[in-house]
Each structure stands twice: as C-alpha cells, then as structure tokens.
Amino acid sequence: MNNDIQIIHGGEQQLGHIVSVEQAAFETNEEAELTKNLLADPSATPILSLLAYKQDTPVGHVLFTHAELEGEHGLQISLLAPLAVVPAYQKQGCGSALVHRGLHLLEEQGIDIVFVLGDPRYYTRFGFEPAYRFGLSAPYHIADKHRDAWMLKSLRRGISGNFDSKVICAKSLYRAEYWCE
C-alpha cells in the first residue's frame, strides 16, 4: 500500500473533490453524475464512499453501494462502482489502496459479497472472480463475450454453489448504459 495516500470517508462536504476526481478519471460527466445520484439515493444505503488524497490533492475515489439478491438468501451485498483515479496519479497504487481499504471496511461491517462490473485483469488481483460461476447474474444482461467482467468477491468463507439469482442494485444504477461493459 502506498503510504503517501490518505484515505477518508467522502460525503456531501467533499462532493466537489469527488466530482473533480470522477471527471478527471473518466473524461466525461457521466460517472460524476452517477456518483452524485448514488450519494443521494436512499436505495443505495448503506454507502461506503472513500476519497484518497496525496498531500492535499484529491486523487482517487471509490463508491460501494447497497445491493440485494433476488429471493431470500440472507446475504449482505455491496456493489463497487465507480472507481476512479486522476490520470496523473494512476499506476501509483491509489486504486488498489482504495479497493483494499473498502473491502476491509465492508468485511468489518459484515458484508458477505461485493460485486463489480469491470476489467477482470484489474479486479482479479483483489480476489474477484466471475459471478456466473455462482449463478449470480447482473441487474442487466451482460453479453457472453464480457461475462467474465461481472465479478464478485466473497468476504466470508463458505460461499459456494449455484445461487441461481440476480443482483438488485440501487435505483440510480438501474440504467442499461451502465451495464454494457
């Protein structure tokens, strides 16, 4: 982990910093808008919003929002999206530090499974694996050629088998354009 990076809980007071990080990382306003919507979305609660600083500069942000599984499974679920690091500060361990810290805090909070739609080459380094292996579908259909991009990480032992279920995400994330990897 990079010791120069300070990670804090980022909320309303840090919204300007969060938006600036999202805009710089994605070069569009889409993820910044999504993040603002999620931070104000009751169906996304509980939320874990972590903001990374290098000295006083906001350089990275990650959001984990509440999700559920269809049916009664008794599992606490969280969804990672988005993750953003300002281009000038990428490849210095900031993204990894945010993901590791988030997973650690979620584990402490009793979350059982964290989902993400992203690049498997990046997220497998944190122990994420394809969710289809557990029969757990994304809120929207993911094309077969991208099926490995819908991933989960179990934060507790003993999660195995075929759930034959689907993830229900926060309302703000229920838009098809967020699910075409």
List 7, 34, 83, 131, residue binding ligand COA (CB under 6 A): 83
Of residues 119 and 164, the one with the C-beta less far from ligand COA: 119
List 5, 84, 106, 114, residue binding ligand COA (CB under 6 A): 84
Of residues 41 and 181, the one with the C-beta less far from ligand COA: 181
Return phi, psi of residue 99, to 5°: -65, -45
SS3 152: strand
List 3, 13, 55, 91, residue binding ligand COA (CB under 6 A): 91
Separation between Cα atoms, residue 55 and residue 51, nearest integer Å:
13
Nearest to 72 by CA among 168, 171, 138: 168
List 118, 133, 154, 166, residue binding ligand COA (CB under 6 A): 118
Q: Does 95 bind ligand COA (CB under 6 A)?
A: yes
Nearest to 88 by CA among 165, 13, 20: 20
Tell me if 161 sits within 8 A of 132, measured CB to CB. Answer: no
Closest CB to ligand COA: residue number: 95
Going by the DSSP 8-state scheme, the letter that residue 50 receives in this structure is E
With contacts defined by CB under 6 A, how many residues of the chain interact with ligand COA? 17
CB of 27 to ligand COA, least distance (A): 8
Q: Does 20 bind ligand COA (CB under 6 A)?
A: no
Q: In 10 A of CB 86, how many CB atoms?
A: 20
Of residues 25 and 113, the one with the C-beta less far from ligand COA: 25
Q: Does 177 bind ligand COA (CB under 6 A)?
A: no
Write down how long the chain is: 181
Separation between Cα atoms, residue 62 and residue 71, nearest integer Å:
28
Which positions touch ligand COA (CB under 6 A)?
Answer: 25-26, 82-85, 90-96, 118-119, 121-122
